[in-house]
């Protein structure tokens, strides 16, 4: 610190008696204490005989650095300033880029979700990243796919139900009109088709009710220990007359030891009865239908095998679908509604089991049920 009075001095400071700077023409040191070394050379400010402060006159630099050092420090200061500016700009650019990266797919998802809410279930979001947003988009696409499939299924189901109702209703209506107009006499011959079609409608409604219960997971089972051999023999006996009429050999083959499953005997009888009546439909004269039961570890396998016409590979994966009938079966006047196997599967699954089919066209089919053993 230089003393006052030197004509080259261009900076002035005033400190209070405690040495705190209260005025600085360079506005740098106000509020800071004057260094002890720097305090020398100040001119005391005396008012009414009291020292109220000290005045310094100095050059702009108080650090005591040489010219070279000062230039170096200035260069470092500038470099630091540029570095800070560069980092700030780079951070802003990176933040803008990242937020675009994050926000753009979210915008797409929001737009797709809004379009879906308005009924367009074909919406999908293009997934490019594998991060959380990518996973969210993938989950969204899966959900959209499931919803779309469910919508198609629902529409198809409504169309199928309408189709199945139309036939019996037009037969009933035609026959009733003819009877009412006196064209047909009110005799058994003309009333029984009406009765049969009403029975068909009733069965269809009951099948649909069961399937809707299955969808809701509400199929009720009355479980007991079911003797599988007795079950198969019972079903075979019920179908024996029809099989004899058709000239089809109906056999039961189960091991000598009694096998038991815990299940609803009526429902299991219905399932196997369904398989046997299908087999009877599709097996020609002199064919064979075999009912077999086997034990495999904790499982019981029940198979219904026929030597019938078989199922084409294209139909095989669909036979358990609701209202599915092969073209062949569709052409038959007496064809069922295509709900039999869907219901069989629903009952088997309600028992915690599985049902599968294997078939070779021209050789025959095997429907196999696997149930947990008691």
Specify the residue, 345 or 351, whose C-beta has the smaller distance to ligand ADP. Answer: 345
Specify the residue, 53 or 308, whose C-beta has the smaller distance to ligand ADP. Answer: 308
Q: Does 336 bind ligand ADP (CB under 6 A)?
A: yes
User: Which residue in 112, 133, 276, 319 binds ligand ADP (CB under 6 A)?
Assistant: 319
Query: Which residue intervals of 182-264 are DSSP H helices?
Result: 188-215, 228-246
List for the chain the helix, strand, coil content (%; round to 5).
50, 20, 30
Q: Does 305 bind ligand ADP (CB under 6 A)?
A: no
Q: Tell me how many degrees the CA angle 68-85-94 measures, rounded to the nearest 5.
A: 150
Q: Does 345 bind ligand ADP (CB under 6 A)?
A: no
Q: How far is CA 219 from CA 150, 222, 233, 320, in A?
A: 21, 10, 25, 18
User: Which residue in 108, 267, 301, 325 binds ligand ADP (CB under 6 A)?
Assistant: 325
Contact residues for 240 (Cβ-Cβ < 8 A; gap 6+)? 250
Specify the residue, 231 or 355, whose C-beta has the smaller distance to ligand ADP. Answer: 355
Q: x/- contact string, 254-283, with ligand ADP (CB under 6 A)?
A: ------------------------xx--x-
**Smallest separation (angstroms) from ligand ADP to the CB of 97:** 58
User: Which residue in 207, 273, 309, 345 binds ligand ADP (CB under 6 A)?
Assistant: 309
**Number of shown-chain residues binding ligand ADP (CB under 6 A):** 21
Q: Does 338 bind ligand ADP (CB under 6 A)?
A: yes
Rounded Cα–Cα distance for residues 53 and 55 (Å): 7
User: Which residue in 287, 340, 351, 369 binds ligand ADP (CB under 6 A)?
Assistant: 340
**Smallest separation (angstroms) from ligand ADP to the CB of 285:** 15
Rounded Cα–Cα distance for residues 207 and 214 (Å): 10
Q: How far is CA 25 from CA 22, 206, 225, in A?
A: 10, 100, 104
Rounded Cα–Cα distance for residues 80 and 328 (Å): 85
Q: Does 168 bind ligand ADP (CB under 6 A)?
A: no
Rounded Cα–Cα distance for residues 368 and 291 (Å): 10
Rounded Cα–Cα distance for residues 341 and 323 (Å): 9
**Smallest separation (angstroms) from ligand ADP to the CB of 339:** 6
Q: Does 300 bind ligand ADP (CB under 6 A)?
A: no
Distance from the first to the final alpha carbon of the chain: 103
**Window contacting ligand ADP (CB under 6 A); options: 130-138, 149-157, 206-214, 318-326:** 318-326
User: Which residue in 239, 268, 311, 348 binds ligand ADP (CB under 6 A)?
Assistant: 311
**Smallest separation (angstroms) from ligand ADP to the CB of 307:** 10
Contact residues for 373 (Cβ-Cβ < 8 A; gap 6+)? 259, 260, 261, 295, 298, 299, 300
Under the rule (CB under 6 A), what is the footprint of ligand ADP?
A: 278-279, 282, 306, 308-309, 311, 319, 324-326, 329, 335-342, 365
């Amino acid at each position: 610190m230089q003393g006052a009075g030197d004509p080259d001095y261009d900076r002035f400071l005033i400190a209070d008696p405690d040495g705190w700077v209260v005025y600085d023409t360079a506005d740098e040191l106000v509020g800071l204490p004057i260094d002890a070394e720097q305090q020398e050379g100040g001119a005391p400010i005396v008012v009414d005989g009291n020292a109220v402060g000290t005045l310094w006159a100095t050059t702009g630099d108080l650090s005591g650095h040489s010219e070279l050092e000062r230039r170096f420090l200035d260069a470092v200061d500038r470099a630091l300033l540029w570095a800070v500016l560069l980092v700030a700009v780079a951070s802003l650019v990176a933040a803008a880029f990242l937020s675009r990266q994050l926000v753009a797919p979210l915008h797409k998802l929001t737009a797709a979700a809004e379009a879906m809410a308005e009924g367009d279930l074909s919406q999908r979001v293009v997934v490019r990243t594998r991060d959380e947003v990518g996973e969210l988009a993938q989950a969204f696409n899966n959900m959209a796919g499931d919803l779309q499939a469910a919508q198609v299924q629902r529409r198809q189901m409504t169309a199928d139900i309408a189709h199945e109702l139309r036939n019996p209703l037009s037969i009933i209506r035609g026959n009733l009109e003819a009877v009412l107009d006196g064209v047909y006499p009110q005799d058994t011959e003309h009333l029984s088709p009406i009765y049969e079609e009403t029975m068909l409608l009733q069965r269809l409604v009951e099948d649909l009710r069961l399937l809707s219960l299955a969808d809701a997971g509400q199929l009720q089972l009355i479980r007991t220990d079911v003797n599988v051999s007795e079950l198969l023999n019972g079903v075979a006996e019920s179908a024996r007359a029809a099989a004899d009429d058709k000239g089809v050999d109906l056999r039961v083959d189960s091991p000598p030891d009694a096998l038991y499953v815990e299940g609803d005997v009526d429902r299991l009888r219905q399932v196997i009865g369904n398989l046997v009546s299908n087999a009877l439909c599709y097996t020609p004269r002199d064919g064979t239908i075999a009912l077999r039961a086997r034990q495999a570890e904790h499982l019981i396998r029940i198979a219904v095998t026929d030597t019938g016409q078989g199922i084409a590979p294209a139909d095989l994966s669909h036979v358990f679908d609701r209202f599915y009938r092969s073209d062949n079966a569709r052409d038959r006047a007496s064809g069922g509604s295509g709900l039999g196997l869907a219901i069989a599967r629903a009952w088997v699954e309600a028992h915690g089991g599985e049902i599968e089919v294997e078939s070779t066209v021209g050789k025959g089919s095997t429907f196999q049920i696997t149930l947990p053993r008691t």
